[in-house]
Amino acid sequence: MSRKAVASAEIAKLLEQQRADYRARLPEQLTQLQKLADDLALGKRRQAILEELHQRLHKLAGAGGTFGLNTLSSRVQSLEQQVKDWLSDPVDTVDAAIWRSFASNLAQLRELMAESGHQAIAILPDATEEADEQAVRVWLVEDDPLVGRELAQQLESFNYEVCYFQCLSDAEQAAHTNCPDILIMDVMFEQAGENATKVLHRYPALKDIGRPLLFISSSDDFQSRVRASRLGAEGYFLKPLDVPRLINRLAEISEKRKQPPQRVLIVDDDTVLAEHYRLILLSGGMEVEVLQQPEQIIDRLEAFRPELVLMDLYMPEYRGQDLAGVIRQYENWAGLPIVFLSAETDLNVQIQAVGTGADDFLTKPISGTHLLAAVRVRIARARQLSAQISRDSLTGLLKHAAIKEMVDIEAARSQRIGKPVTVAMLDIDHFKTVNDTYGHAVGDLVISSVAMLLRQRLRRSDIIGRYGGEEFAVILPECSAEDACRLLEDIRLRFSTVHFNHEGREFSCTLSAGLASSRELPNHGGAELLVAADEALYSAKRGGRDQVQVA
Domain contains 6: no
139 pLDDT more than 70: yes
Over its C-alpha atoms, the chain yields an Rg (Å, rounded) of 30
- Greater model confidence, 395 or 430: 430
| d(C-alpha 363, C-alpha 61), whole Å | 10
**Average pLDDT score over residue span 185-210:** 54
306 pLDDT more than 70: yes
**Average pLDDT score over residue span 264-269:** 92
Q: Are strands 194-195 and 500-502 parallel, antiparallel or unpaired?
A: unpaired
Asked if 251 and 268 sit in the same domain, the reply is no
| d(C-alpha 57, C-alpha 29), whole Å | 10
Query: Please, are residues 529 and 407 in contact by the beta-carbon 8 Å criterion?
Result: yes
Q: What is the tally of structural domains in the chain?
A: 4
Bridge partner list, 505: 502
Query: What residues contact 87, with CB distance under 8 A and at least 6 apart?
Result: 50, 51, 54
190 pLDDT more than 60: no
Asked if 202 and 331 sit in the same domain, the reply is no
Looking at every residue in the chain, the average pLDDT score rounds to 83
130 pLDDT more than 50: no
Asked if 61 and 79 sit in the same domain, the reply is yes
Q: How far is CA 411 from CA 230, 418, 527, 548, in A?
A: 47, 10, 9, 22
Asked if 337 and 446 sit in the same domain, the reply is no
Query: What residues contact 453, with CB distance under 8 A and at least 6 apart?
Result: 159, 491, 494, 495, 498
**Average pLDDT score over residue span 441-455:** 88
Of 256, 275, 291, the residue that ends a domain is: 256
**Average pLDDT score over residue span 450-458:** 86
Domain contains 451: yes
Query: Please, are residues 365 and 62 in contact by the beta-carbon 8 Å criterion?
Result: yes
The pLDDT tens digits of the residues spanning 482-537 come to 999 999 999 999 899 888 877 778 899 999 999 999 999 988 988 999 999 999 99
Question: Residue 210's pLDDT is what?
Answer: 64
Domain contains 123: no
Q: What sign has the CA pseudo-torsion 7, 9, 13, 18?
A: positive
Long-range contacts of 356-361 (CB under 8 A, 24+ apart): 356/321, 356/324, 356/325, 357/321, 357/324, 357/325, 357/327, 357/328, 358/311, 358/320, 358/321, 358/324
119 pLDDT more than 90: no
Question: Residue 28's pLDDT is what?
Answer: 87
pLDDT band of residue 129 (cuts 50, 70, 90) is very low
Asked if 306 and 425 sit in the same domain, the reply is no
Question: Residue 432's pLDDT is what?
Answer: 94
Question: Residue 350's pLDDT is what?
Answer: 86
The parent domain of residue 273 ranges over 264-390
| d(C-alpha 494, C-alpha 10), whole Å | 44
pLDDT band of residue 348 (cuts 50, 70, 90) is confident
Q: How long is the chain? A: 551
| d(C-alpha 88, C-alpha 473), whole Å | 60
Q: Are strands 287-291 and 263-267 parallel, antiparallel or unpaired?
A: parallel
Question: Residue 202's pLDDT is what?
Answer: 53
Asked if 269 and 334 sit in the same domain, the reply is yes
98 pLDDT more than 90: no
Concatenating the DSSP letter of every residue in 449-500 gives HHHHHHHHHS-TT-EEEEEETTEEEEEEET--HHHHHHHHHHHHHHHHT--E
Domain contains 510: yes
Domain contains 121: no
CATH of the domain at 543: 3.30.70.270
Burial class (CB in 10 A: 0-12, 13-18, 19+), 116: exposed
| d(C-alpha 101, C-alpha 343), whole Å | 23
Question: Residue 1's pLDDT is what?
Answer: 41
343 pLDDT more than 60: yes
Asked if 546 and 409 sit in the same domain, the reply is yes
- Greater model confidence, 17 or 428: 428
Of 235, 256, 277, the residue that ends a domain is: 256
Asked if 421 and 291 sit in the same domain, the reply is no
Q: What sign has the CA pseudo-torsion 387, 393, 396, 400?
A: negative
Question: Residue 475's pLDDT is what?
Answer: 95
Domain contains 125: no
Asked if 419 and 541 sit in the same domain, the reply is yes
Question: Residue 136's pLDDT is what?
Answer: 84
| d(C-alpha 222, C-alpha 236), whole Å | 12
pTM above 0.75, yes or no: no
Q: How far is CA 482 from CA 277, 453, 478, 549, 551, in A?
A: 46, 20, 12, 11, 12
Question: Residue 426's pLDDT is what?
Answer: 97
Query: Please, are residues 438 and 383 in contact by the beta-carbon 8 Å criterion?
Result: no
Question: Residue 80's pLDDT is what?
Answer: 85
Domain contains 8: no
30 pLDDT more than 70: yes
66 pLDDT more than 80: no
Asked if 463 and 342 sit in the same domain, the reply is no
CA dihedral 245, 249, 251, 253 (to 10 degrees): 180
Q: Which of 497, 425, 502 is nearest to 466 (CA)?
A: 425
The pLDDT tens digits of the residues spanning 397-419 come to 899 988 998 898 889 888 888 99
Using a pLDDT cut of 90, give the percent of the chain over it: 28
Domain contains 99: yes
Q: What sign has the CA pseudo-torsion 529, 535, 539, 541?
A: positive
Asked if 370 and 448 sit in the same domain, the reply is no
Asked if 438 and 519 sit in the same domain, the reply is yes
- Greater model confidence, 460 or 157: 460
CATH of the domain at 330: 3.40.50.2300
Question: Residue 124's pLDDT is what?
Answer: 47
DSSP H helical ranges for 339-472: 347-354, 368-390, 400-417, 431-438, 440-457
**Average pLDDT score over residue span 86-92:** 71
Query: What residues contact 220, with CB distance under 8 A and at least 6 apart?
Result: 238
Question: Residue 204's pLDDT is what?
Answer: 56
pLDDT band of residue 271 (cuts 50, 70, 90) is confident
Instruction: Provide the 10 A C-beta neighbour count for residue 207.
Output: 18
Q: Cα 359 vs. chain centroid, distance in angstroms?
A: 16
Of 347, 372, 390, the residue that ends a domain is: 390
**Average pLDDT score over residue span 18-38:** 84
Q: Are strands 471-477 and 463-468 parallel, antiparallel or unpaired?
A: antiparallel
Query: What residues contact 465, with CB distance under 8 A and at least 6 apart?
Result: 392, 397, 398, 399, 400, 402, 403, 406, 472, 473, 474
Concatenating the DSSP letter of every residue in 269-311 gives S-HHHHHHHHHHHHHTT-EEEEE--GGGHHHHHHHH--SEEEE
> Looking at 62-76, 91-105, 495-509, which range is the least confident one?
91-105
